[in-house]
Amino acid sequence: MLILLDASALINQPAFTFEESERYACTYEVLEEFRSMETRALVENALKRKLLRVYRPKHKYLNRAKKLVRSKGFTKMSKADISTLALAMQFKEQNKEFLVITDDYSIQNFLAMLAIPFASVMQGKIKNIISFVRFCPVCKKEYAAGSSVKECPDCGVELRTKRIIEKSTKNL
């Protein structure tokens, strides 16, 4: 699984570990937020082991993220937060299977709006994974959140989105 980390995922998380079985991503802006010695060492090690890859989201996604944040009246989101949101939008459009790890409620709020799966982290463990599925309100048939189907082919009814909360004790 590809795990997209925001700044809050690692800061104040001394028990965080990068697992060999996962792949991690973050933006350059987030990388710069990892200033404490412990976090730096952790991140540098993950980069060396090629578990973590640093991305620069494309301009169009950055602009889209900025527009979305502004349209909802959020003025306090940092550059790092917006870059994370932009990268999540980019991954979604590229049909990547991924999960965002963030303890930031503003980011979680926007991810929910975009039906992008996310989880928070506590003592190095993923807490609840919030994922999304699209479904037909008539026949209840389900479609992946990222699917381009807009209405149920059987009923011709517009699909709705619902969130699924999955308890997880998974180590990061």
Where do contacts with Zn ion occur on this chain (CB under 5 A)? Answer: 136, 138-139, 152, 154-155
Residue carrying structure tokens 């989201």: 57
17's tokens: 């570990």
Residue placing its CB nearer to Zn ion in the complex, 121 or 152: 152
Task: Describe the crossing of helices 59-71 and 79-93 by its angle, rounded to 10 degrees.
Answer: 120
Residue placing its CB nearer to Zn ion in the complex, 35 or 140: 140
Closest approach of Zn ion to the CB of residue 168, in Å: 30
Closest approach of Zn ion to the CB of residue 161, in Å: 15
How far apart are the C-alpha atoms of 47 and 35, rounded to whole Å?
Answer: 15
Closest approach of Zn ion to the CB of residue 156, in Å: 8
Residue placing its CB nearer to Zn ion in the complex, 22 or 142: 142
> Which residue, among 99, 103, 119, has the nearest Cα to 33 in the 3D structure?
103
